[in-house]
Amino acid sequence: MRFKKLWIIGITLMLSMGVLNTVHAEKSDEVTLTDVQIEEMKNLQQQALENEISIISKYVEYGVFSKEKGEKIIEHLEGKYQTLEENKFIPKWNRKHHKKNDELSE
């Protein structure tokens, strides 16, 4: 009986977290950052990009990725950074990922 109660509480918490995250993501279109916030996010994102590039470079050095694959991954990461910069460092989460399902429903 105790396990059943914990299971129900766990499911309820997971569902409520999903709803809260969805509501929070929808509000991101309304948010604007101040110049100070944009500069801080820019610095943090640049540090993250540099770290990711270092990691990918090490994988190439150790032979985990080919040089071409490493360059492709780095190019993709730099593209993501450019998109963030164009959006003033506010991530856009409203992009649809399942195009096949959308095409079938039309």
pTM above 0.95, yes or no: no
Label each residue of 19-35 as H, E or C: HHHHHHHHHCCCCCCCH
Q: Residues 48-83: pLDDT tens digits?
A: 999 999 999 999 999 999 999 999 999 999 999 999
pLDDT digits (tens, 9 = 90+) for 19-32: 555 555 555 457 89
pLDDT at position 49 is 97
Mean pLDDT of the chain, nearest integer = 82
Q: 48 with 23: CB under 8 angstroms?
A: no
CA pair distance 42, 33, nearest whole angstrom: 11
Please state, in angstroms and rounded to a whole number, the distance separating the CA atoms of residues 55 and 13: 35
pLDDT of residue 59: 97
More confident residue, 36 or 101: 36
Tell me the range of 7-11, 55-59, 90-94 where mean pLDDT is highest. 55-59
